[in-house]
Amino acid sequence: GPVTVTHPDITRYFMTVEEASELVIQASGLSKGGEIFVLDMGEPIKILNIAKRMISLAGKDPCFSTKDISPNNILIEYTGLRPGEKMYEELFIENSSFPTSHPQINKCDEISINIDEIETVFKKCLSLVYASLLFQ
């Protein structure tokens, strides 16, 4: 120990490689080109619960204070969120998904930007960067 957890309430989704691989292959069969699919990953899990379970599986007890540390305990420390890290994962920009013929695969109806528009904006940004470098 100690085992570090960013925050007691932080959650994440988990899938096995086998589950994810199977659903990705299934989604590729549903694709007509350019769609965005979201896999059903079940319910998000608290990272704290995973830490506690790992400690228990090691035959130890979790503790949250250095005062409680003993040979049978492992300390769980909170490190805090890093810049930009979220408490939970957002699967959609706008909650706009709808079912497909597969019960564990949803299709998103997200707003998209044309690649030509992206290229135009990127070129403008690049020219501004070059111009600022010339005037330094």
Kind of pairing between the strands at 73-78 and 97-99: unpaired
DSSP structure class, residue 68: G
Write down the pLDDT at residue 7: 96
* Cα distances (Å, whole numbers) of residue 133 to 19, 127, 130: 49, 10, 5
Averages of pLDDT over each 10 residues, the chain, 136 residues:
93 94 94 87 94 96 89 94 91 76 88 81 92 80
56, 74 Cβ separation under 8 angstroms: no
- pLDDT tens-place string over residues 29-55: 998 888 889 899 889 999 999 999 999
Task: Give the separation between CA 35 and CA 87, rounded to whole angstroms.
Answer: 28
